Structure 1
């Protein structure tokens, strides 16, 4: 019961956070309301769609009403906030701390969801890591491509790295037979802490020159 509640919490917080980040970017590019919804939904649901297709199953968003409802809630939050205060435009800046933190929360939550799905499907460590990474960064990549930008994962230091490390932690804890609730909570915390630390301290990976 607790495991299911925690899993639903991660779905809700990750979907809403990514929908808000997508809506922020739509505002920055001066998209209309439909464009905002498209970008918000693509960001929130894109990673999950990629994950489910790779697992050869009907996407969860096409069966369960929850993800779409959470995505809509995130978009509505941004729309209402923007109409009440034009300051929201500033939060849409890709360098805005609010934008980056929301994206980090979504990344951490979806890392847990992707890794859990991989483990349940019986994938090996490589499969779990790949599924966690695609679930975590897939929606953001679609968002940036639709907005005509280089995907954040390709230029932001320690972005995909955070989700990869989080997935490795998930696999190790699973291998050690740690209970799923503790495993999920630790994986979320590690991924989020790594990404927030990267933002705060401007961690960078070596770049070929």
Structure 2
């Protein structure tokens, strides 16, 4: 009972957060209402669609209506925010802004948990759990950025994919140690979110190769 409740909360939080961040980017690129919804839905559901395809499952978004409802809520939140304050909207829609990155970080952490958990349920090894957790976390955002002709955040952001990989590894290790699943999910979410927020705050970056 507790496990299902925690999963439902993460699914709702992650979907709404990612749909909101995707819609904000659509607003920044001056897309019409359909374009904003497309970008929001792709960001919220894209990673899960890839994950389910890898697992050979019918995508959850095609069976359960709630992911679409959560995604729609995120899109509406983004569009209504423009009526509150143009200054706030401008801050939220800038991909380099702290506000945009924080919203995206929440979705990243929640979806890392969901992907890793589905990998564990499928009986995958450490690599499989980490891969599914990472893809679920960054897949939708990568598709979002490609649709608006931007270099995906995963390829240029400071400590973005690294945070989800570390979170998924911790999930897999704690799962192997047979910890309670709700506790594992809460720890993974918190760790992934904290790492990403610290990276935003402290401007952490991985080493880059310089070519002469």
Common fold: TM-score over 0.5: yes
* Structure 2 Cα separation of the partners of residues 152 and 84 of structure 1: 27
Report how many aligned residue pairs link the two structures. 209
Shift of residue 73 of structure 1? 0.2
Instruction: Find the counterpart in structure 2 of residue 158 from structure 1.
Output: 159
1:110 aligned partner:
111
Q: Give TM-score scaled by structure 2 length.
A: 0.97
Quote how far apart the aligned CAs of 1:84 are.
4.0
Alignment of 1:137-176 (within 5 A): 137-176=138-177
Deviation at 1:117, TM superposition (A): 0.4
CA distance in 2, matches of 1:85, 1:190: 32
Residues 142-200 of structure 1 deviation map (CA, whole Å, 9 limit, x = unaligned)? 00001110000000121000000001100110111100010000000010010000000
TM-score normalized with structure 1 length: 0.98
For residues 158 and 72 of structure 1, what CA distance do their matches in structure 2 show?
Answer: 29
Deviations 1:32-91 (A, max 9, x none): 000000000000000000000000010000000110000000001111121343231331
Asked whether the equivalents of residues 24 and 89 of structure 1 are also in contact (C-alpha less than 8 Å), the reply is no
CA drift of 1:127 comes to 0.5
Contact kept, 8 Å, 1:163 with 1:191, in 2: the verdict is yes
**Aligned twin of 1:178:** 179
The CA deviation string for residues 84-134 of structure 1, in whole angstroms up to 9 with x for no partner, is 432313310011111000100000000000000000001000000000000
Gaps of 5+ in 1: none
Match of 1:201 in 2: 202
User: Where does structure 2 lack aligned partners over 5 or more consecutive residues?
Assistant: none
1:136·1:163 contact (CA, 8 Å) conserved in 2? yes
